């Protein structure tokens, strides 16, 4: 949410930001409602003052002169003033609702170095790490590999949950958990506090964090309880501190590993094969709350992005970092980097991580503040990043590390979480007890879960 005075001072800029971020809202309608509110407020204050003065005059008159006729005339005046007040207060209440509705649609500003553009095709590459593999054999996609290794069952997933669902089993389940634990261990080592948070949240939690009202069609609702299933633990991590005054002398670094849900409305026919775009997935999310300082936020954005990059390096995957353009940004974002990992079956990089800097947009909505060096209350800045999202990360993990004989090499960093396995062997060869796997695809992990 933006400061109202800032909107008044930058009306044309805010309207242009709404156009760039493809938000259908009129800034002039908001300003007209704001002017109406201030006018009504002045009128109601004047009427209250007149009513209160008349009430005092009635008491003084009865006490000093006993003129009951004049007192009755003043009482009638007070009654009329109250009637006028009721009308104005009702109008004021309605215009305040209009302002709140419009304010929730206002876009956050964007950084000066955010590229202009209409879609993800206009995002600008800023960094590329690693080389896509060159296979001297006919490479398989992650679905074929998953089925060959007995770790993926799409048909049963659809049978149970409908389209865009899946079942992971055996080493598929172990990989799914292993990448989460690797990411969580990385963040803990870098000073993040892990938290277990609610996945069913109140409407205000999604509104506080900027996912409502514009993103409401992407969120599953439990109507009877008026609770919503989150698509990222960013929502509860930030909302835990709504309405609070917190200590951010040292940036508050938080992490959570949770199941997430997304309706994928509007994606019909898009990425329908495999694990790229599914309704249920898991994420290790990192969130930072810090002082209201753009330079500090910029450094922390780089830190969050570096954490995600480090995970990809541990997974030995080629990737690139892109600066997200205005047309590919959400309402709440000030600056954003996406990390895209090479996916051989797509012959392209696919988004696997996203780092966002929001300034005080969320904190204003959620009323999260801190005291600065002069004890003045200020709104915090918030940032977030996906350290890892799975099963999507399994796409490049399987496809990039596949071998000509059908095995899949495991990155060294993952092996301790996979019971010491060095490679995955197709299901029809596991009973042979081939080196690097077990006879049933199981392994005792030392990851602690």
Interval 310-333 mean pLDDT: 98
Interval 139-143 mean pLDDT: 97
Asked if 333 contacts 362 with a C-beta cutoff of 8 angstroms, the reply is: no
Cα torsion 121, 323, 125, 252: sign: negative
What is the pLDDT at residue 442?
A: 38
What is the pLDDT at residue 449?
A: 27
What is the pLDDT at residue 435?
A: 47
Strand partners, 340: 320, 351
What is the pLDDT at residue 446?
A: 36
What is the pLDDT at residue 303?
A: 98
Digit-coded pLDDT (tens) for 174-223? 999 999 999 999 999 999 999 999 999 999 999 999 999 999 999 999 98
* Edge-to-edge strand list for the sheet holding 252-261: 124-129, 319-323, 335-343, 348-357, 381-390, 280-290, 252-261, 193-194
State the DSSP H helix or E strand holding residue 310, giving kind and residue range, or none if neither.
helix 294-314
pLDDT tier at 76, thresholds 50, 70, 90: confident
Q: In the predicted model, what is the mean pLDDT of the chain?
A: 92
DSSP helix/strand/coil, 402: strand
Asked if 217 contacts 280 with a C-beta cutoff of 8 angstroms, the reply is: no
- CA–CA dist 327, 318 (Å, integer): 26
Query: Does residue 80 surpass a pLDDT of 80?
Result: yes
Q: Tell me the domains of the chain and their CATH numbers.
A: 4-103 (1.10.287.40), 120-400 (3.30.930.10)
pTM of the predicted structure, to 2 decimals: 0.90
Q: For the CA atoms of the chain, what is the radius of gyration?
A: 28
Contacts of 147 (CB under 8 A, 6+ apart): 153
What is the distance, to the nearest Å, from the Cα of residue 176 to the centroid of all Cα atoms in its chain? 21
What is the pLDDT at residue 73?
A: 78
What is the distance, to the nearest Å, from the Cα of residue 432 to the centroid of all Cα atoms in its chain? 46
- CA–CA dist 329, 267 (Å, integer): 17
What is the pLDDT at residue 271?
A: 75
Interval 109-137 mean pLDDT: 97
- CA–CA dist 404, 408 (Å, integer): 9
pLDDT tier at 62, thresholds 50, 70, 90: low
Query: Does residue 285 surpass a pLDDT of 70?
Result: yes
- CA–CA dist 382, 289 (Å, integer): 5
Digit-coded pLDDT (tens) for 84-120? 999 999 999 999 999 999 999 999 999 999 999 999 9
- CA–CA dist 195, 388 (Å, integer): 16
Catalytic residues: 262, 277, 351, 354, 392
């Amino acid at each position: 949410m933006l400061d109202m005075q800032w909107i008044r001072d930058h009306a044309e800029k805010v309207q242009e930001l709404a156009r760039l971020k493809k938000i259908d809202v009129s800034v002039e309608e908001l300003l007209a409602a704001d002017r109406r509110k201030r006018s009504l407020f002045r009128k109601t204050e004047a009427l209250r003052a007149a009513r209160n003065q008349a009430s005092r005059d009635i008491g003084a008159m009865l006490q000093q002169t006993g003129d009951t006729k004049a007192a009755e005339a003043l009482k009638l005046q007070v009654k009329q003033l109250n009637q006028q007040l009721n009308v104005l207060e009702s109008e004021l209440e309605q215009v305040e609702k209009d302002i709140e509705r419009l304010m929730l649609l206002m876009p956050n500003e964007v950084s000066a170095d955010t590229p202009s553009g209409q879609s993800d095709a206009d995002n600008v590459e800023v960094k590329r790490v690693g080389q896509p593999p060159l296979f001297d054999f006919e490479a398989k996609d992650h679905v074929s590999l998953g089925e060959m290794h007995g770790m993926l069952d799409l048909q049963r997933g659809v049978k149970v949950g409908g389209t865009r669902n899946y079942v992971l089993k055996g080493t598929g389940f172990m990989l799914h958990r292993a990448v989460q634990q690797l990411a969580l261990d990385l963040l803990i080592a870098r000073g993040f506090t892990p938290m277990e948070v609610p996945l069913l949240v109140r409407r205000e939690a999604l509104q506080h964090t900027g996912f409502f009202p514009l993103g409401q069609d992407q969120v599953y609702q439990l109507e009877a309880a008026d609770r919503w299933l989150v698509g990222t633990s960013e929502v509860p991590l930030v909302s835990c501190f709504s309405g609070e005054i917190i200590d951010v002398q040292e940036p508050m670094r938080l992490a959570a590993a949770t199941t997430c849900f997304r309706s994928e409305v509007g994606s019909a026919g898009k990425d329908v094969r495999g694990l790229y775009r599914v309704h249920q997935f898991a994420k290790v999310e990192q969130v930072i709350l810090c002082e209201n300082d753009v330079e500090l936020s910029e450094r922390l954005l780089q830190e969050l992005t570096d954490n995600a990059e480090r995970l990809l390096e541990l997974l030995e995957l080629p990737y690139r970092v892109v600066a997200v353009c205005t047309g590919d940004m959400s309402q709440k974002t000030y600056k954003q980097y996406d990390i895209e990992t090479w996916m051989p079956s797509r012959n392209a990089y696919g988004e696997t991580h996203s780092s966002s800097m929001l300034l005080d947009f969320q904190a204003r909505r959620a009323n999260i503040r801190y005291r600065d060096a002069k004890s003045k209350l200020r709104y915090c800045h918030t940032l977030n990043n996906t350290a890892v999202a799975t099963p999507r990360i399994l796409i490049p993990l399987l496809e990039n590390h596949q071998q000509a004989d059908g095995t899949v090499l495991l990155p060294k960093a993952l092996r301790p979480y996979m019971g010491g396995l060095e490679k995955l062997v197709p299901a029809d060869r596991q009973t042979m007890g081939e080196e690097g796997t077990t006879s049933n695809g199981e392994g005792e992990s030392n990851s602690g879960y």
